[in-house]
A and B are shown apart, each in its own frame.
Chain A
Amino acid sequence: MAIVPEFLIRKIYQKGSLKKLDNGASIVLKNVLGPGQISGFNYVKINGVVFESKDVKFITNGVEYTADDVSEENPIIFRLGQSGTLVMTGKECLAEGKNEIYIEALNPEAGIVQLKAEDVV
């Protein structure tokens, strides 16, 4: 069981932020819950297309983090009110109309944090 209920986690996703990139997609996350840390992204799935952690980077406060940069010992500080862009590359994944997004992130205290969202481009 996740520590934080799903409806609260969903608030982190910035509705309308889904963007098509060359060979990928990006979304924006905003921490509206409280001071937090991200110790990694297991994977991101958009419409069933899986982006492994190596294909995911997180850009926040002007710093670009890849999977190799982040760990439980070296988490990304994600402050209350802070935004970040999650960029997935290497695959086409977006569809016309509604897109289903699933993110599995890691937090040093809570473990796996799952975020489900729907958005249109």
Chain B
Amino acid sequence: MEVTFDKYSLMVDGKRIFIKSGAFHYFRTPGADMARDRFLKMKAGGYNTVDIYFNWNYHSPKQGEYDFSGIKDVRKVLQEAKKAGLFVIARPGPFINAEVNAGGLPFWLLKAEDVIPRNRIGTEYKYSPKYMEYIAEWYDQIIPIIKDFDNVILFQIENEYATDTMEEDYMRQLYKMARDRGITCPIFHNDAYFAGLWADCVDIYALDLYPYINPNQNWKEESYCFDTLDNVEDIFRCAKEDSPPFIAEMQSGWFDKWDGSGYKHIRDSLGDEHINIMTKTALSQGVTIFNHYLAVGGTNWADLACDEVYTSYEFTAPIDEFGVPQSNFYKAKEINYFLDSFDFTKTEPKDFNFSKENIYVKMRHDLNNDCDWLFLRNMNSETAEIDLPFNKTVKLKPYDMKICPINLKLKGCEIEFSDTEIFTRLQNENEEAIFFISDDNSNIYLCDGSVISGAQKDYANYTYQKDGKTTQIIFLTKKLADKSWFLGDRMIFNADYVLPNSAVAVEKNTEIAYFDLKYKFGKKSCIISEFDKNQDSEELKIDEVQFCAPEIDIDYDYSNWKKVKGKTDAFSCDIYDEFIWYKAKIPNNITEITLSARHLFAMYINGKEIINRNSYKLEKLQEVPETISVPLNEKILTKDMNELTILVQNLGFDKGFSGDTNSPRGLVFFETTPNIPVEFYVCDKLAPERSKKYESDNPYLAKITAHFDVDIKDNVFFAKYISFENFRCRRATIFLNGVKIGRYIKRRHVQEKFYLINEFLKPHNKLEIVVWEKERNVKSAWGFKSDLKNVKILLGTFKICQLFK
């Protein structure tokens, strides 16, 4: 496959292609089966490309060691993309950000000698030959896989990179390294500053755009938030005149943070208006390659997350974390289908003299279809009546945006102007069916003077003939359009989604309708038989509660743990797990311990909790280090030599966009008064993760175990979750069949539902929840155990659909 480009668009084997891409994180949606499910839904929604970050850290636990097996087999992910008929935008970093742990840089790299991650300290450029050597090691692993797939059409180097002095050596070397390893498609960088950065070092200039990054503000009241997007064509042309306008990350959602406002708030705030405005404004600016970031939400299972984000990385994406299409998916689908209907790859801006407050207007001339397209956007809180200079008035709802054809020649008629929007088109040489979305306040004006009102019922249709050719105009209400699917040569109606092989998914008994140009309309009944239609949540029976932190017990044998030489932080100890245990002996003459640990920690002496706190804090995107002094006395230090245990929970390393990926974690500072050397031993993971024998006497960490069955069938899509009800514990770590799938931490906003990732589900499942509680909440060991036995854990279903072929 040969990929070329000019100032308008990408060309694949000489044919212009409009790239409608969506980003997908295979590491957050693990396994080929889940990738297939999401890719097929993307394809059904009209995307023709999937954007994939390759996460170096996910594959490389140690220098020289790479794991591409099992669920980490990216070759299988790429095969699924190819089978789904999607092109791929490959983004192997080395740095990816993506709110992943250390921005995707491997932990071993961050502590390696002579390595300066990303060749910069702060924003100061500092070239590190050793860092480049290690990138070569990563590229030697990942590029041979990527280049085996001819559907890879674009390749990105680095991500959102800048330094104060903008030396080009690093970027040019990355470019050369990719080419030397056989990458033949165009190479780009993703400029987060939309300032034309690195345009001369790459083939195609690309940027990212996120007008909404503060969920506390209402984007609808801030029309200025689209300023950059409204002028983005100029930015592209100034940066690189001869490459197609390419938004490598175009906002389709946003991530929530610890103490954030919650995904429901973000989804409600963005609605489907935001993706509509983003995408249509991009089209109005001549963009022919866009990538909705993200198209598919994911889960921060295991230790994937950077410290900023919690388990759900739902991102309010069109396809949510659980694989369920949301309202912004249907809006994206409308636009994608429209782009499939009329070749939009070669347009030029056209002067259009019009100005009205909070109304964005842009005209483009379409060189392929020999017509004009008028883009209208209303940022007023009221419906706007827009009187256009050619004697047409458009009524536009608040925060709505439309693409209106002008002088659009069809097979059987010509549209003079329409503010009823086109949904999609089926066509052959002599015949076409154009589907419009009904809209009471709109009209289709034909060149013969006739007017068709946009206020129409489902399937209302009008036929026009000219020179032996036919155009049928068919209306769909928005409700039906959401459930209508374009499959190239046919339409399918009333389905929750369809697969490229025409299999339809429905969640209840449904009458599916079909339409094609040859047989017109047909119907088929889909009667659900494969699952119990009553999908109410059920309470799980708790089988067992065990105390599970023998490390805290007196006389615990830690002689086989690693002895700390020097500093105690995670890098110095070479331990990167979420949980790090520290054990030491301290004499009884100590009057105070001063310590700082990231992010949550507890200190126990002789089996008793002395302090337990959450020191995770962010202020103005800067982490606030927290050092605390704990006074000790003879009531605590009861022996000549006392057993000190510290447990630290590391919520992840910095993602590296505005902070340093190698900011330390674990026990970052420890000092006694009087100051004496303390010999620490360290170990990672919770005891149930490390061994089968873990029962303990102390009640601080307890494990709840429950079992449940799931009916897994090939022709049924389902997404299940567990939720806690009246859960009083402050922290919990959730394991499904031995895989860590979630972190529960009680904060201002709490994630209460956790996705039971399909890849890890089996017919018979074991759920283990390790609770880490503060002493003051543990009245007595017996009472605490009893409380935990009565914890309500609900097993629920987000969505279930049966597939019919």
Chain A residues at the B interface, C-beta cutoff of 8 Å: 1-8, 33-35, 77, 79-81, 106, 108-112
Q: CA separation between A89 and B102, bound complex, in Å?
A: 45
Q: Which residues of the partner chain B approach A79 to less than 8 Å between Cβ atoms?
A: 224, 227
Asked whether any CB of chain A lies closer than 8 Å to the CB of B676, the reply is no
Asked whether, in the complex, the Cβ of B211 is within 8 Å of the Cβ of A35, the reply is yes
Q: Which A residues touch B214, using CB under 8 A?
A: 108-109
Task: Report, nearest first, the 9 A-B pairs whose CB atoms are least far apart.
Answer: A111-B620, A80-B227, A35-B227, A5-B162, A3-B658, A79-B224, A1-B122, A34-B228, A6-B164
Contact indicator B228/A5 (Cβ below 8 Å):
no
CB of B781 within 8 A of chain A? Answer: no
In angstroms, how far is the closest chain B Cβ from the Cβ of A38? Answer: 13
A77 touches B193 (CB 8 A): no
Q: Which residues of A contact B224 (CB under 8 A)?
A: 35, 77, 79-80
* Residue among A4, A8, A34, A108 making CB contact with B227, cutoff 8 Å: A34
Q: In whole angstroms, how far apart are the Cα atoms of A3 and B231 in the complex?
A: 22
Which of B166, B227, B621 has a CB less than 8 Å from the CB of A7?
Answer: B166
CB proximity of A6 to chain B, nearest CB, Å: 4
CA A6 to CA B222, docked complex, whole Å: 27
- List the A side residues contacting B660 at CB < 8 Å: 1
Q: Is the CB of B658 within 8 A of A5?
A: no
B416 → A minimal CB distance (Å): 35
**Is B213 in contact with chain A by the CB < 8 A criterion?**
yes
Residues of B within 8 A of A3 (CB): 621, 657-658
Cα distance, A112 to B658, chains bound together (Å): 12
Q: Which residues of B contact A111 (CB under 8 A)?
A: 619-622
Chain A residue at minimal CB-CB distance from B619: A111
Contact check, A33 vs B195: say whether CB atoms are below 8 A apart.
yes
C-alpha spacing A7/B162, complex, angstroms:
9
Q: Quote the shortest CB–CB distance from A77 to chain B (angstroms).
A: 6
How near does chain A come to B548, taking the closest CB pair, in angstroms?
40
Is there contact, CB below 8 Å, between A35 and B225?
yes
Q: Could you say which residues of chain B place their CB within 8 Å of the CB of A2?
A: 122-123, 658
Most buried by A among B224, B226, B621, B658: B224
Note all chain A residues with C-beta closer than 8 A to B166: 5, 7
Residues of B within 8 A of A81 (CB): 227
B163 A5 Cβ-Cβ under 8 A: yes
Q: Is B194 an interface residue (CB 8 A)?
A: yes
Residue of A nearest to B211 (CB): A35
Query: Given A7-B166, A34-B194, A108-B214, is A1 in contact with B227 using a C-beta cutoff of 8 Å?
Result: no
Q: List chain B residues, Cβ under 8 A from A35.
A: 211, 222, 224-228
Quote the shortest CB–CB distance from B348 to chain A (angstroms).
Answer: 23
A77-B217 Cα distance, complex, nearest whole Å = 12
B165 within 8 Å of A by Cβ? yes
Within 8 A of A (CB), among B248-294: none
The residue from B193, B619, B622 contacting A4, defined by CB atoms under 8 A apart: B193
Residues in A neighbouring B620, C-beta threshold 8 A: 106, 110-112
Distance (Å) between the CB of B507 and the closest chain A CB? 40
Does B144 sit at the interface, judged by CB under 8 A? Answer: no
Q: Which residue of A lies closest to B228 (CB)?
A: A34
- The distance from the CB of A109 to the nearest CB of chain B, in whole angstroms, is 6
- List 8 A-B pairs, Cβ < 8 Å: A1-B122, A1-B660, A5-B166, A34-B227, A35-B225, A35-B228, A80-B224, A106-B620
Q: Report the minimal beta-carbon distance from B239 to chain A, rounded to whole angstroms.
A: 14
CB contacts (< 8 Å) of A1 on chain B: these are 122-123, 658-660
Give min CB distance, A32 to chain B, whole Å. 9
CA–CA, A81 and B225, complex, Å: 13
CB of B231 within 8 A of CB of A109, answer: no
Would A109 and B621 count as touching, CB distance under 8 A?
Answer: yes
Residues on B with C-beta less than 8 A from A8 are 162, 193, 195
Shortest CB-to-CB span from B190 to chain A, Å, is 15
Q: Roughly how many angstroms separate A2 CA and B622 CA in the complex, as a whole number?
A: 10
A34 to B166, CA, bound (A): 20
User: By the criterion of a CB under 8 Å from any partner CB, how many residues of chain B are at the interface?
Assistant: 29
| Interface flags, B637-674, vs A, CB<8A=1, else 0 | 00000000000000000000111100000000000000
Q: Which of chain A's residues has its CB closest to B226's CB?
A: A35
- Tell me the complex Cα distance, A109–B214, Å: 7
Determine the residue in chain B with the shortest Cβ distance to A11: B195
A106 to B194 CA separation, bound complex (whole angstroms): 21
Chain B residues whose C-beta falls within 8 Å of the C-beta of A110 in the assembled complex: 620-621, 658
Known: A2-B658, A77-B222. 7 other contacts (CB 8 A): A5-B162, A5-B164, A5-B193, A8-B195, A35-B225, A80-B228, A111-B620
What is the bound-complex CA distance between A106 and B658, given in angstroms?
A: 15
- Whole-angstrom distance between the Cβ of B165 and the nearest chain A Cβ: 7
B312 nearest CB across to chain A (Å): 22
B 218-244 to A, binary, CB cutoff 8 A, 1 in contact else 0: 000010111110010000000000000
**Complex interface: chain B residues within 8 A of A5 (CB):** 123, 162-164, 166, 193
Q: Which residue of A lies closest to B660 (CB)?
A: A1
Closest to A80 in B: B227
CA distance in complex: A77, B223 (Å) = 11
* Chain B residue nearest in CB terms to A3: B658
Q: Name the distance in Å between A71's Cβ and chain B's nearest Cβ.
A: 13
Q: How far is the CA of A12 from the CA of B123 in the complex (A)?
A: 18
Among residues of A, the one whose C-beta sits closest to the C-beta of B213 is A109
Complex Cα distance, B254 from A109, in Å, reads: 14
The docked-state distance in angstroms from the alpha carbon of A1 to that of B194 is: 19
> Which chain A positions have C-beta within 8 A of B222?
35, 77
Query: Roughly how many angstroms separate A110 CA and B194 CA in the complex, as a whole number?
Result: 16
Pick the contact of A33 from B123, B163, B193, B622 — CB < 8 Å? B193
Docked CA distance A34–B228 (Å): 6
Please name the residue on chain A nearest to B160 by beta carbon.
A3
- Are A7 and B213 in contact, CB atoms less than 8 angstroms apart? no
A76, chain B: closest CB distance, angstroms = 12
Closest chain B CB from A79 CB (angstroms): 4
Closest to B162 in A: A5
Complex Cα gap A112–B620 (Å): 8
Chain B's nearest CB lies how many Å from the CB of A8? 6
CA of A101 to CA of B46, assembled, Å: 52
Minimum distance in angstroms from A82 CB to a CB of chain B: 9
Q: Which of B163, B620, B657, B660 lies at the interface centre, i.e. has the most chain A CB atoms within 10 A of its CB? A: B620
Residues in B neighbouring A80, C-beta threshold 8 A = 224, 227-228, 231
* A66 → B minimal CB distance (Å): 22
Q: A112: which B residues are within 8 A, CB to CB?
A: 620
Within the complex, what minimum Cβ distance (angstroms) separates A2 from chain B? 6
What is the minimal beta-carbon distance from A102 to any residue of chain B, in angstroms? 15
Contacts of A108 in B (CB 8 A): 214, 217
Q: CA A110 – CA B213 in complex, angstroms?
A: 11
A111-B622 Cα distance, complex, nearest whole Å? 8
- A111 and B658 CA atoms in complex are apart in Å by 11
In the assembly, what is the distance between CA of A11 and CA of B585, in Å? 57
C-alpha gap A8/B217 in the complex (Å): 25
Q: Nearest A residue to B222 by beta-carbon distance?
A: A77
Q: For A109, what are the chain B residues with a Cβ–Cβ distance below 8 Å?
A: 213-214, 621
A33 to B194, CA, bound (A): 8
A19 CB, nearest partner CB in chain B, Å: 28
CB distance from A115 to the nearest CB of B (A): 13
C-alpha gap A33/B620 in the complex (Å): 20
Most buried by B among A1, A6, A7, A79: A1
Cβ of A110 to closest chain B Cβ, rounded Å: 7
A81 to B230, CA, bound (A): 12
Within 8 A of A (CB), among B121-176: 122-123, 162-166
With both chains docked as a complex, state the minimum distance between the C-beta of A83 and any C-beta of chain B, in angstroms. 14
Q: How far is the CB of B255 from chain A (nearest CB, A)?
A: 13
Closest to A7 in B: B164
Q: Which partner residue on chain B sits nearest A111 by CB separation?
A: B620
A43 to B782, CA, bound (A): 58
A109 and B213 CA atoms in complex are apart in Å by 8
Q: Which of B225, B622, B657 has the most CB of A within 10 A?
A: B225
Q: How far is the CB of A58 from chain B (nearest CB, A)?
A: 17
* Cα distance, A106 to B619, chains bound together (Å): 13
Enumerate B95-122 residues with CB–CB distance to A below 8 Å: 122
Q: Give Cα distance in the complex from A121 to B94, angstroms.
A: 46
Interface code B192-217, partner A: CB below 8 Å = 1, 0 otherwise? 01110000000000000001011001
